[in-house]
Chain A
């Protein structure tokens, strides 16, 4: 069975934010929440590069480990999902997540957080696949339809790769050997044991 992962080849990312827009539109993500974002390092300087980042669906997921109500679960394909019915919006998953993936709608009083929202690898949530309830809470379930995440599909430069970890790693490695240098498979050594496994 495939082990789903994202990989952003920052050598190719042109910071067009198409992935961000595609994600927001596909899942009707509310205002103020970004399941995916593009971070630019060394902006305007030599060595500038952009990386599209969302939940990496970590191997030993920190969010899962710290959640006080244990609302996370992992699919057979290694996708980390959660139940908004159980989440209490404590924000702990954000403190643990290395990639700033969990997002919280601002609800009620103070800076109070609502139910956590994050990238689902376009795989929905615990509700029945592609049901209305699932869509309202988690967005589209493309995986159930046999499709891969829309962000990577939309990527015009194919900087953002999504799919089976071994496949996208080999695509990336081939690029690296062709052009003679890597661009850092950002996040891989943090999210997965052994990183790219070079």
Chain B
């Protein structure tokens, strides 16, 4: 129906063009009439086949051209530059701000921030994501970066292994994200505290600025929702690709590939920043997901409301 409509509109457009410029109408090769017309309409040509493969009834699908242009164009150029810029921005941030220190120094006393199950879910997702991300980026950028280094054969084997890993690891990845979502969703509802946190730039930009925050601060809530929603987009589009033509037609497959690639690149960009701030970017931050025990002073500076809630009156007395 939509194809029909599109075709109809295009015919109208063609008539209009022909009316204005008779020359262009005459340029149509006479021997090629209907086929040329159909192909210029950019609509798929659909017919019937006597073999079981029903999708092969599409004789010509011109929209593959647009898919190719997207993949070879913006996906590689814009996507590639986005990742380069994120890395440069993080490097610049490190150069200007340095490692964010615990302003009051380490207290030596610790408090449990993430229990075993929370850390298991995080590292399950994280380890899968690293393989998924690298094997995914390899499909788009490997040809220009990895192949010249390792050669065509090794690159093909590597990419093949990456494809298999990518397919299988999608399952534990999705499970981990579901687990994290179930455990943390109630801590990630935005509220007035977050508005204040954002107003103060999260305290990231200056020393001795520590806006109050609960278990998760505004930035972490944004990360949470980007990961959860990004994973939903990746899972839906990804399973479309993994079960080709089970749920959709060629246009749906092309769309799925683009959605998957774009969501993937964006999430990789976000996670690069997450990895930076959770490791070398901030003193004391890694312990939260490492041992699960964070220094009380670190916690007071970055998650004051949460510490109060955890320690009750004791934290108040310490202040």
Interface residues of A (CB under 8 A from B): 15, 17, 20, 32, 34, 37-43, 51, 53, 62, 65-66, 68-71, 85-92, 94-100, 109-113, 172-173, 176, 181-182, 184-190, 195-198
The smallest beta-carbon distance between A49 and chain B, in angstroms, is 9
| B2 is an interface residue with CB less than 8 A from chain A | no
Whether B160 pairs with A111 at a CB distance below 8 angstroms is: no
A91 / chain B contacts, CB cutoff of 8 Å: 241, 244, 253
What's the minimum C-beta distance from B305 to chain A, rounded to whole angstroms?
A: 46
Chain A nearest CB from B28 CB (Å) reads 8
Q: Indicate if B159 sits at the interface (CB-CB under 8 A).
A: yes
Contact, CB under 8 Å: A98 / B65: yes
Any chain A CB within 8 A of the CB of B104?
Answer: no
Main SS at interface, chain A: loop
User: Which of B46, B60, B67 has a CB less than 8 Å from the CB of A95?
Assistant: B67
State whether B48 touches A95 (Cβ < 8 A).
no
Q: Which one of B77-85, B136-144, B200-208, B279-287 is at the interface?
A: B136-144
In the complex, are the beta carbons of A110 and B167 less than 8 A apart?
yes
Check B243 for interface membership: any CB of A closer than 8 A: yes
Contacts A/B (CB < 8 Å), 5 sampled = A34-B53, A39-B59, A91-B253, A96-B71, A198-B32
Complex contact B36–A195 (CB within 8 A): yes
Q: Is the CB of B32 within 8 A of A43?
A: no
Task: Kindly state the separation between the CA atoms of A67 and B160 in the bound complex, as whole angstroms.
Answer: 13
A-facing residues in B47-74 (Cβ within 8 Å)? 47-53, 55-62, 64-65, 67-68, 71-72
Is there contact, CB below 8 Å, between A69 and B155? yes
Known contacts A86-B152, A100-B55, A189-B32: A68-B139 contact under CB 8 Å: yes
Interface of chain B, main secondary structure: helix
On chain B, the residues within 8 Å of A98 by CB distance are: 60-62, 64-65
A13 to chain B, nearest CB (A): 12
Q: How far is the CB of B52 from chain A (nearest CB, A)?
A: 8
Whether A70 touches B60, Cβ cut-off 8 Å, given contacts A40-B47, A41-B47, A182-B33, is: no
Closest to B72 in A: A65
Q: Which residue of A has the minimal Cβ distance to B71? A: A66
- Decide if B309 is an interface residue (CB 8 Å cutoff): no
Q: A17-B50, A91-B244 are in contact. Are A189 and B35 (CB under 8 A)?
A: yes
B39 at the interface (CB under 8 A from A): yes
Whether A111 contacts B246 by the Cβ 8 Å rule is yes
A66 to chain B, nearest CB (A): 5
Query: Closest approach, in angstroms, between the C-beta of B229 and any C-beta of chain A?
Result: 25
Chain B residues closer than 8 Å to A182, beta-carbon distance: 30-33
Interface set of B (CB-CB < 8 Å, partner A): 29-36, 38-40, 45-53, 55-62, 64-65, 67-68, 71-72, 138-140, 142-143, 147, 152-153, 155-156, 159-160, 163, 167, 241-246, 250, 253-254, 257
Contact call A198/B29, Cβ cutoff below 8 A: yes
Contacting residues, chain B, for A32 (C-beta < 8 A)? 52-53
Residues of A within 8 A of B140 (CB): 68
Q: Could you tell me if A184 and B35 are in contact, using CB atoms closer than 8 angstroms?
A: yes
Contacts of B250 in A (CB 8 A): 94-95, 100
Residues of A within 8 A of B39 (CB): 189-190
Q: How far is the CA of A110 from the CA of B167 in the complex (A)?
A: 9
B177 CB to closest chain A CB (Å) equals: 20
Are A186 and B35 neighbours in the complex by a CB distance under 8 Å? Answer: yes
**Quick check: B68 and A66 within 8 Å, CB to CB?**
yes
Q: Are B243's CB and A90's CB within 8 A?
A: no
> Do A34 and B51 touch across chains, with their CB atoms under 8 A apart?
yes
Which residues of B are found within 8 Å of A20, using beta-carbon distances?
A: 51
What is the bound-complex CA distance between A138 and B46, given in angstroms?
28
- Name the A residues within 8 Å of B242 (CB-CB): 110-112
Contact A111 B245 (CB under 8 A): yes
CA gap between A195 and B33 in the complex, in Å:
12
Chain A residue nearest in CB terms to B155: A69
> CB within 8 A of A100: which of B29, B56, B246?
B56
CA separation between A100 and B65, bound complex, in Å?
Answer: 13
| Shortest Cβ gap from B157 to chain A (Å) | 9
Compute how far the CA of A66 lies from the CA of B51 in the bound complex, rounded to whole angstroms: 28
Closest residue to A111 on the B side, CB-wise?
Answer: B243
Q: How far is the CB of B50 from chain A (nearest CB, A)?
A: 7
Whole-angstrom CA separation of A15 from B50 in the bound complex: 10
Residues of chain B lying within 8 A (CB to CB) of residue A85: 153, 156
Bound-state Cα–Cα, A70 to B151, Å: 11
Q: Which residues of A sit under 8 angstroms from B143, Cβ to Cβ?
A: 68-70
